[in-house]
Structure 1
Amino acid sequence: MSAPQPTAAFSHVSVMLNEAVEGWFSRADGIYVDGTFGRGGHSRELLRRLSPHGRLIAFDKDPAAIAAAQDESATTRVSDPRFSIFHASFRDMRERLASVGVQQVDGILLDLGVSSPQIDDPQRGFSFRFDGPLDMRMDTTRGESAADFLARADERQIAQVVKDYGEERFAVQIAKALVARRASGDPVRTTGQLAEVVARAVKTREPGQNPATRTFQALRIFVNAELEELEQVLSDTVDLLAPGGRLAVISFHSLEDRIVKTFIARESKQVYDRRAPFAEPAPTRLLSLGRVKPSAEEVAANARSRSAILRVAERKSPDLEGQPS
């Protein structure tokens, strides 16, 4: 049986569109950052709510997303004098904002993970549903592809990546199988080949889940340094947010959400230094506004939203820092 083919036009439905923008938005004439533009669903909704004096600065490291935003003939293009976009990772947010004279903003949105157009394009290598080159880079202009990593890494390195980033209990068996295939002179270079190797190595799997799901997730996260970039940008967001500004983050798996949850919790409570028990505690700089999950109606309409979690926090005013949240 041949692999299913994608539709000619890639579509993307923004997850928790209204909930995310409600959490992100604080004032109509503010300056906002969309750290993961994708195909612009959240950005368009925010622009609809902004006044003529508002401003939206977007980031995306995927050249295809940048092209979609700027293509004169595309429906995905954003043509608005209040809007600008950088071809850059959100980890470079502080530096890029400074380059255009922006020191603080009123809202930052991060919609993490991979987008539907990326998943549905076989040439990108993100999905086992379509056979294609095993690339997985979000920025195709730089970095090492997943196939190149598997071609050079030793068994221990591969197992560590699959275990740490995919939470895969059969990581060692998968690594052994991949290295054995490489040693035979036929290294894995396509998504179909990877899925086939993993399927033979994984003996059991949760009902309804493809055996390769966790391995594909792990390689994608590793190749794009997703968790490291997330930790870096989160550490910058508090200083970038103006008092009353909002941070909204949509995550799709437990590794991402754990980082976001821990960060917001840490910045929302007083922290005492045990080595200096009489010193003033570190100030609380954020107020957690809670978490939101997609409605049953949204999950029914868009299955990819089922694992999404939106967390929102607000930057405290300086005179309120240090007070418990």
Structure 2
Amino acid sequence: MHTQHYINEGEKIMKTKIRNLMEMPPEIKYNYLKTLLTMANIDEKINSLEAAQFYRFMAKVQLGKEERKLFLKQMDKLEIDMDSLCKRLYRELNEQEKNIVRFSLIKDLMIMMKCDYYEAPEEVELFNEIKIILGITEEHMVFFIEEDEREKNFFRDIPSGYLRYEGLEEVALTTTAIGASLTTFFFSDSFKKSRYSLKKSSHKEKFIFDLLRAMVMGATSYTSLKWLLKRRKNKALILEKHLIQECEKLQERTKRYLTFDIQYLQESLKWAEENFIEMESQREMIDLLKKSLAVLNNTKPQLL
């Protein structure tokens, strides 16, 4: 395979300035997170496991403190008109960015549904509704489920701390390691081909190109992609280390968000008490966030 050729093609794609979730406008991030928050609240009031997961998502898109304050005021609120909300997700995005948003959202909705170890009927119904709105097919879902299983087992199944990924699996791991979903790949010709056809050289090269294109379009930086692909020795170990570091960074950022917001709410509550203003809901929110912080302090980092 001519990897350099595919990297050159990736550089051309990068010139179109495709933004990842972290770089999306605040309005897009807000609507994205509002959809996830609605999932958390659809069956009953949000619990500490769901709140911890929601904070992971806020940390994932690097939501600012002022924007987080908006969610603190509506942590237990539902969005009724999902069709309108989902359409607002696409405002002023190009086609590639729309794909990044919709595929990332479906994956994150799956994580939110499972984070309290129970998928309520209301959650499943909402998920199916959003799938239809976003045009997610059953073929897409096969890949989401497989990726979910692989990522879920990442920390659990590697007691030795070492990975041995080769060939296509290694490329797929690279995609995850630099923070990119296989969003573009889902829309490629390779997606529609049988896995068995990848044994043919021409199909395999097309498959690799689609993966690389997906990586470039969602990558944190193209420099990271190029560096990872050029490594020849101990590649699996390097990728694993990079991936674990990214997960740990996200975990620590999530904890910082929670700690800051708890302090903010406590200061607000103190002022209210000094002025004889009743704020029972504020106390409940502080308790919820403290429990969520405890969850993070007692759980391993998570792939998102």
Asked whether the two chains share a fold, i.e. TM above 0.5, the reply is: no
Structure with the bigger RCO (C-alpha within 8 Å, sep 6+) is 2
Q: TM-score range by the shorter chain?
A: under 0.3
Structure number having the greater helix percentage: 2
Give the alignment's TM-score, normalised by structure 2: 0.27
Give the alignment's TM-score, normalised by structure 1: 0.25
Structure number having the greater strand percentage: 1
